[in-house]
Homo-oligomer: A and B are copies of this chain.
Amino acid sequence: MFRAVRKLAHMAAVPVEESEHRSGPLLDHLARRMRLRSESVLAPLGLRPRHLVALTVLRDSEGMSQQGLAGTLQIDGTNVVGLLNDLEAEGLVERRRSPEDRRRHVVSLTGAGAKRLREAECALAVAEDEVLGALEPAERDTLYELLRRASSGRPVSCVEATGDEPDAAC
């Protein structure tokens, strides 16, 4: 067996028992657990997990168009509309027509939105403690940082992996 084994000279010896471990499934698993726990603590704030994701994205990059948002969230444009309707109805975000292109809506967090987001994040601490219970605080910070950096990568838009790849490369 060909083991991946990229030089991992840093942290405590990775177990790498045998094969090709990927983070995908773990990410999925953990995100699910987090989402389940989050729903309950978020409910009293009138938010659902996906709202939080949207708000978080908006805080990080103010002044996006809706299709920009659709791009980063990787959800259909029509669904963005509904999502923003929810948020705007509570005054958490604002849609303004772009001056340069008046077809476009520039979406941004309102003061109330930023406040609500902080409250939500605060409430989320509980859920996070449960789900990430196995990690030390410092490790959680590392995790956060890695996730943040990974998320800011461009949205993989379209043609670039140009498919048709032999993919057996591994």
Q: Which residues of the other chain, B, contact A16 by a CB distance below 8 angstroms?
A: 141, 144
- The answer to whether A128 and B23 touch (CB under 8 A), given A16-B144, A33-B156, A34-B28, is yes
User: Does more than half of chain A's interface fall in helix, strand or loop, or is it mixed?
Assistant: helix
* Alpha-carbon distance between A10 and B123 when the two chains are bound, in angstroms: 26
Q: A97 at the A/B interface (Cβ < 8 Å)?
A: no
Which 8 residue pairs of A and B lie closest in terms of their CB atoms, listed nearest first? A31-B31, A134-B153, A122-B170, A26-B147, A20-B121, A25-B56, A22-B124, A22-B121
Taking Cβ atoms with an 8 Å cutoff, the residues of A that contact B are: 2, 6-8, 10-11, 14-16, 19-38, 41, 49-50, 52-53, 55-57, 73-74, 114, 117-118, 121-128, 130-135, 137-156, 161, 165, 167-170
**Can you list 16 A-B pairs with a CB-CB distance of less than 8 A?**
A11-B141, A11-B145, A15-B138, A19-B121, A23-B147, A25-B52, A26-B148, A26-B151, A28-B53, A29-B57, A31-B32, A125-B170, A132-B150, A135-B150, A143-B143, A143-B147
